[in-house]
Amino acid sequence: MRTVLKKILTAMRGGVNELGEAVVDGQGNRILEQELRDSEHELKQAKQELASLMAEAASLARQIRTEQDSAAKREDDARKAIAAGQEDLAREVAERIVGHERRASELTQTRELLQQRIVGLKDRVQKAEKQLADYRRELQVVKTNERVLRTTAQIDTNINSQQSSLSTAKETLERIRERQAREEDRQTASATLEKELTGADLDEKLKAAGIDGEQDAVNDVLARLKGGNANP
């Protein structure tokens, strides 16, 4: 019985250490669950053995009552023998009474010792049962915490991945904008060069200054025509 309880308490002490490791150790929960199942099995055995001891105590109580009843009956027989003047018979009956009383006393002492052990073992079993229930609750807390930690870690991983993707997207966007700016600069430079080569830029400058060669030529033609009409 003590061996069983010792195993239970040892398994539970091991479970305390496992509780601290379960969050970081992927196998921790399964190890602890197995330890608790082992403890439950040992506790069940302890209860069965305790029940056997209680049954034995009950059997001793019956035996004590039997011896006491037998002694009481023999006392009646002894009184009758004395009343009948059968001294030798009364003595023989008295010897039987002594035997019953001795056995009743011995059985009583045995039962008292057994009862003391039963009381102590009951207390230990109850404590072991309470500890087991506490560890079961702790296991649920640990499993919940582990799920939260795993979920948080996954969220962190997703967010980090997203940030990395956004960073890459930003770099890509900047490269696109830079390429577009270079293309615009190239096109502007090409147009400017084309104007310079064809003289279009000079025409634009003259026009901007109010000097339009084409318009002046038109005006000269009109003036010439008007002059011709004035001198037939």
pLDDT single digits (tens) 41-69: 888 899 999 999 999 999 999 999 999 99
DSSP 88: H
Q: How many residues does the chain have?
A: 232
* Residues 1-5, mean pLDDT to the nearest whole number: 52
pTM assigned to the model:
0.52
Tens digits of residue pLDDT in 148-183: 888 888 888 888 777 777 777 778 888 888 888 888
Q: What whole-number distance in Å separates Cα of residue 76 and Cα of residue 87?
A: 14
Between these two residues, 223 and 18, which has the higher pLDDT value?
223
Residue linked to tokens 């011896």: 67
What the block records as the tokens of 47 is: 């209860």
**Banded pLDDT at 14 (limits 50, 70, 90):** low
pLDDT for position 24? 45
Q: What whole-number distance in Å separates Cα of residue 53 and Cα of residue 1?
A: 10
With CA atoms as reference, report the closest residue to 22 among 12, 14, 32.
32
Count Cβ atoms within 10 A of the Cβ of residue 130 and give its class: 0-12 exposed, 13-18 middle, 19 or more buried.
exposed
- Rounding to the nearest 10 degrees, give the CA dihedral for residues 118, 121, 123, 128: -150
Q: Which of 31-45, 65-79, 213-227 has the highest mean pLDDT?
A: 65-79
